[in-house]
Amino acid sequence: MRIILASQSPRRRELLERMGIFAFEVIPARGEEVVRPGLAPARLVEELSRQKCDEVAAAHPEALVIAADTVVSIDERILGKPRSPAAAAEMLCVLSGREHIVYSGLTVRCGSQAFTEHEATSVRFRTLSDGEIERYVDTGEPMDKAGAYGIQGYGSVLVEGISGDYYNVVGLPVCRLARLLARFGVDPLALAAEKEQGT
C-alpha cells in the first residue's frame, strides 16, 4: 500500500520510522487552512488535520494519507508557532511555572474511508527566569514549534513533567496512529519485523 505523510515536519517523519513505517512519501499540504473561529482546541486540530489530509488525498486517491496538526492551549488561548523571537519569548513567559495541554489532531484516509481523532497531553513547565527564556529563544529552536518549545530538543530542560503521550507533544501521537492504521490493515510492528528480518 502506498503511504503518504502530508507533513514536512522532520519530527513526524522520524516518528513514522520509529513506528516501523519506512516506505512512505512526504507530500505536504499547500492549501490555505480555513477554520471557523471559536473552535475548541481539540476540534481545531481535528479540523486542520482533516483539511490537510483531504487536500493531499484528492490528488492521490489510491494512497493512504496521514495528516496531523498540533497546538498548545493554556487559559483557553491557543498557541501555534511564534511569528518572531519576541512572540516566542512571550509564549514561554505564559507557560513558565504552569501546566498546559498539547493537542494533536490526526486524520488517516484511503479512498472514501477516513478517520479523524485527537490526542491531548498535559505538560508542566518549571519556573523560568528571563535569562533562561532569552537564551532558549537564542537557540532558534522555538521558532518552528507550537507553543515555542521542542520537548525532544533543548526545550527538554524546561519541562518538569508530563501526563499522557510524550510523542503527542513531539507532534505525532504514535499509539493512536497505530490504532487508526490498523483499521486499514496496516500493522507497523509487522512492517518493522519484516525489515529487521530482511524479508
Q: Quickly list DSSP for 159-184.
A: EEEEES-HHHHHT--HHHHHHHHHTT
Residues sharing a CB contact under 8 Å with residue 57, sequence separation 6 or more, in sequence order: 63, 65, 109, 110, 114
Which grid coordinates are listed for 176? 493512536
Determine whether 138 is an active site residue.
no
CB-based contact 125:98 (threshold 8 Å): yes
Sequence-distant (6+) residues with CB within 8 A of 109 are 53, 54, 57, 64, 65, 67, 115
Catalytic residue among 54, 69, 138, 187: 69
131 CB contacts (<8 Å, ≥6 apart)?
none
Write out the catalytic residue numbers. Answer: 69
